[in-house]
Every structure is written in structure tokens, then in C-alpha cells.
Amino acid sequence: MTIKIVTDSTSDLSQTIADQHDITIVPLYINFGDQSYLDGVELTREEFYKMLPDHPTPPSTSVPSVEMFQNIYQKLSAEGADQILSIHIAGSLSATADIAQSTLETLTDVPVTVFDAGQISLGTGLLAIAAAQAAVSGMTMEEIVSMLKDKALRTYSFAALDTLEYLRRSGRASRFRSTVGSLLSIKPLLSMHNGKMDVDRVRTEKGAIEWLMDHLANLHPFEEIALIHTNAPDKVEAFRQRAHPFLPSGKEPIIAEVTPIIGTHVGPGAVGFSCISKGISNL
């Protein structure tokens, strides 16, 4: 029984890691005005962040088409897949999983199971890697899905943003209730767990990093952890050094620059982490 794993580009898995684990990535779209780009295929992160600050209209994002999912599932079937597990960004944030599910109404080539990770960024990516490893080990689809449900309850993502500006531009700043003057000076804080995104704020970058460190301490020890950033390699390296005491020994964490799909909303300068904790937190 050959089980193939599919995820989407919001999982922030590099092509190298995806190839290593035989994971197929379905790209979402970045839209700058009338021009659409396949995320990670037709627009690099470097190109995106050069365009982002000064483009006359804020970019938008859109999900893959049913036809794209059909083509990918059919290709994997032709290559020998007996079953496919398709793991995607939280349905509370994107319709990607819904589009994948709707594909199954006309797909007859191969059985596909769609799994809503309830996560974002490498929160989804870490679950996809776990699924791929389980498939290689010989677990059945039912066993893999049961395992993922358990891990998803212990998976968290956190990000400290540099500015509210890009949340405001993308229309996602409505949860921040304050005057315009105070909004300009805050550091937004985002956390994602089990399909729910929470927001918080602090006044300084130092306070934002301490917020991340508090969550590291509360969720430690980890099964897996990955560090994330948006066009901020120096900042994520400084955070890695601060986080070192909480990182699993003998294993370097994945460090990933967040996809433009997410960068559209959070902007440059964000830093954070995704993890699978060894226990369920009371956060």
C-alpha cells in the first residue's frame, strides 16, 4: 500500500525538505493587481519582498483551483499512489482544504483523504512531515490520520510582527481595537492552535521576543520545533540563539522564511516558531 502526502505552499516546506520526504506541494496564488503568480513557482520570496512595500495596490491571495488538485492527485495515482493524504492550512484561515475536498466529488482515480491541520506555516509543515514518515514506516491511512489528530492538538504556531501595517492593508486588523495613533506603535502578536487564531499586542520589540520566549518555556519539551521569519534572517538568528536552551539537543531546527501567502498579511520583520509539544499545554 503506497500512501502519498500532499500539502500546500503555506506549509513553508522548502522544496529540498519536500523532496526528502516525498511530499507534493500545491501552490496558492499571489496577486499583484491583475498579475497572478504561483507561490514558490513563479515568484520568489526575494522578489515578493522587493515588490511589497511600494506596489500601488496591496497584494491579495487566492486558493488553488479544483483542476489543479485534480491534476496533482491524478499524477500521483499514475505514479503508483494507492491512497493520498492531503494536509492543508486551517479552514478558519483559507478555503484550500474545502477546494481539495470538493475535488473528490469527481475524482475516481485514487482514494484521497483531506486533513485540516488547524494550523499555519510550519505548523502544517511539521504535520505533513510526520505523515510522510508514518507512511514510509508502513502505517495505514487510518493510523496516520489518528496520529495526526493527536499531534495537531499539540501543535502551536506563534509570530511576533514588526508592524500592524500589513494586517491593516490586507483587511485583517479588525481585532485590534484602539486609536490610530496607538496602533502605529504596537507590535502585533499572533498565535495559532487547533484552528483558532488569537491576537495580542506589546509596545516594544523586546516585549515581543519575551512573549515568544514565554511560550517556548511553557510548551517545552518539544517533539519538533521550527523557527520562522519574514525577510528577517538576522532577527531569526538572534531568536535562535535565545531559544537554544529549549531546542531539542543534537538536532538543528528547520529555519524557514515564510511564504509570501502569509507575508502578504504580516509583512517583513516578523519572527516566530511552530512546534509539536510533547504534552498538551494549558495556554
Mean pLDDT of 156-177: 77
pLDDT band at 63 (very low <50, low <70, confident <90, very high): very high
Residue 174 is predicted with a pLDDT of: 58
Task: Tell me whether the CATH fold assigned to 3-28+63-152 matches the one assigned to 155-277.
Answer: no
Q: Which residues is 156 bridged to in the sheet?
A: 193, 275
Q: Work out the average pLDDT over 264-276.
A: 95
Domain ranges of the chain: 3-28+63-152, 155-277
Phi, psi torsion values for 109, nearest 5 degrees:
-70, -40
Query: Is the CB of residue 212 less than 8 Å from the CB of residue 273?
Result: yes
Distance of CA 201 to the CA centre of its chain: 21
pLDDT bracket for residue 282 (50, 70, 90)? low
DSSP letters along 124-144, please?
HHHHHHHHHHHHHHT--HHHH
Is residue 57 scored above 90 in pLDDT? no
Quote the pLDDT of residue 179.
Answer: 41
Reported as a single tens digit per residue, the pLDDT across 190-199 is 999 999 999 9
**Calpha distance 148→178 (Å, rounded):** 39
Q: Where are the alpha helices (DSSP H) in 64-203?
A: 66-78, 96-103, 122-137, 141-152, 165-169, 180-183
Average pLDDT of the residues in 265-281:
90
Confidence class for position 172, pLDDT limits 50, 70, 90: low
| Average pLDDT estimate for 14-30 | 96
Q: According to CATH, what is the number of the domain 155-277?
A: 3.30.1180.10
99 pLDDT above the threshold of 80:
yes
- Output 85 or 173, whichever has higher pLDDT: 85
What per-residue confidence (pLDDT) applies to 182? 47
Summary mean pLDDT of the chain: 91
Alpha-helix residue ranges (DSSP H) falling in 104-253: 122-137, 141-152, 165-169, 180-183, 205-219, 233-243
Report the top-level CATH class of 3-28+63-152. Answer: alpha beta
Which tens digit of pLDDT belongs to each residue from 197-223? 999 999 899 999 999 999 999 999 999
Question: CB 82: neighbour CB atoms within 10 A?
Answer: 13
Tell me, yes or no, if the pTM score tops 0.95: no
DSSP class of residue 11?
Answer: G
Strands 271-277 and 155-160: antiparallel
3-class SS letters over 29-55: EEEECCEEEEECCCECHHHHHHHCCCC
Most confident of 60-69, 180-189, 244-253: 60-69
Tens of pLDDT, residue by residue over 111-134, are 999 999 999 999 999 999 999 999
Which residue is associated with the grid cell 515588490?
A: 51
